[in-house]
């Protein structure tokens, strides 16, 4: 690996992701049997031709409308889904703060889920045990830590999930609108953590709050209909995006599925 490549935490080259939409079950069966000759599905490219590099220690904001491909891009970065075309290279441990609590077992206690979350993110049993007290302090769910998650509110589950991701010593922290269910006090705690984390790690931050992106990020990327439309200074990028929201309106054709 060259020294130039070593400078980057994330490298996306010609990245694309397509989903297959079938009108009925028979078309799905025909695709399995005769798919080499023709396509029996409609193709929808969520991402196409994405070129993006994130330097180590950089804070990158990603903005865009609903359905523009932001979350899919993060899922590819985190290895949750594979690209249809192009390549993705990441360097270092990734903590995905995406759908917080999505992988939790709601029959297990918060403490048990925290241990499992640490293991999934690459910590050993002893490392997880060392961090449990700090995770509990950050989540601040009190006695509920030893109660099953089925008794948690969505905000309490999000607190615990974020606390786990904040304490696994990740090289890359990937955040996707994860704090929308948190109360104001917890959100302030999280953003204070982000500010500290930026000094030692790489942050990729998706938000519809343009002020947060401008405040937290060194650079911003605007994804529009699966492609990079603008990239650069956060203030200039968010301003261009905001002007487009006003001038272009809410067009239904953005959700068109290809023939």
pLDDT confidence band for 235 (50 / 70 / 90): very high
Work out the percent of the chain whose per-residue pLDDT is above 70. 92
* Tens digit of each residue's pLDDT (9 = 90 or more) over 35-72: 888 889 888 899 999 999 999 999 999 999 998 999 99
pLDDT band at residue 182 using 50, 70 and 90 as cut-offs: low
Domain count, the chain: 1
- Candidates 112, 116, 98, 168; CA nearest to 138 is 168
Q: What is the mean pLDDT of residues 169-180?
A: 82
- The pLDDT confidence band at residue 1, using thresholds 50, 70 and 90, is very low
Q: How far is 132 from 115, CA to CA, in rounded Å?
A: 8
Find the mean pLDDT for residues 241-254: 85
Q: For residue 144, what pLDDT is reported?
A: 97
Give this prediction's pTM: 0.84
Q: What is the mean pLDDT of residues 1-14?
A: 78
Is it the case that residue 122 has pLDDT exceeding 90?
Answer: no
Residue 167, domain CATH = 3.40.50.300
Q: What percent of the chain has pLDDT over 90?
A: 63
Residue 181 clears pLDDT 60, i.e. is over it: no
Q: How far apart are CA 192 and CA 187, in angstroms?
A: 9
Across the chain, what does the average pLDDT equal?
89
Pair of tokens at residue 119: 């293991």
- Reported residue count of the chain is 259
Contact partners, residue 196, CB within 8 Å, separation at least 6: none
pLDDT of residue 11: 97
Burial class (CB within 10 angstroms; exposed 0-12, middle 13-18, buried 19+) of 152? buried
Q: What is the pLDDT of residue 241?
A: 96
pLDDT at 90: 96
Domain that holds residue 90: 3-255
Quote the CA–CA distance of 78 and 61 in Å, as a whole number.
Answer: 16
Res. 215: pLDDT tops 60: yes
* 71-110: pLDDT as tens digits: 999 999 999 899 999 999 999 999 888 765 567 899 999 9
């Amino acid at each position: 690996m060259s020294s130039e490549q070593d400078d980057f935490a994330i490298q996306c080259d010609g990245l694309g992701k397509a989903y297959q939409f079938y009108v009925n079950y028979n078309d799905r069966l025909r695709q399995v049997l005769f798919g080499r000759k023709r396509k029996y599905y409609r193709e929808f490219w969520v991402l196409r031709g994405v070129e993006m590099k994130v330097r180590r220690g950089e804070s990158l904001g990603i903005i865009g409308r609903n359905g523009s491909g932001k979350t899919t891009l993060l899922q590819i970065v985190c290895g949750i889904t594979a690209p249809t075309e192009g390549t993705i290279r990441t360097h270092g441990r990734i903590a995905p703060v995406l759908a917080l609590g999505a992988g939790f077992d709601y029959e297990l206690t918060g403490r048990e889920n925290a241990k499992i979350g640490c293991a999934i993110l690459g910590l050993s049993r002893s490392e997880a045990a060392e961090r449990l007290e700090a995770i509990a302090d950050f989540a601040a769910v009190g006695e509920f830590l030893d109660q099953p998650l089925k008794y948690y509110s969505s905000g309490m589950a999000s607190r615990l999930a974020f606390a786990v991701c904040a304490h696994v010593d990740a090289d890359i922290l990937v955040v996707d609108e994860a704090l929308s269910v948190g109360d104001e006090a917890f959100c302030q705690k999280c953003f204070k953590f982000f500010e500290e984390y930026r000094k030692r790690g790489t942050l990729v931050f998706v938000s519809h709050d343009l002020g947060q992106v401008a405040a937290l990020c060194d650079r911003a990327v605007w994804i529009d209909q699966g492609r990079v439309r603008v990239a650069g200074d956060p203030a200039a990028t968010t301003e261009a995006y905001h002007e487009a929201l006003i001038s272009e309106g809410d067009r239904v054709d953005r959700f068109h599925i290809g023939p």
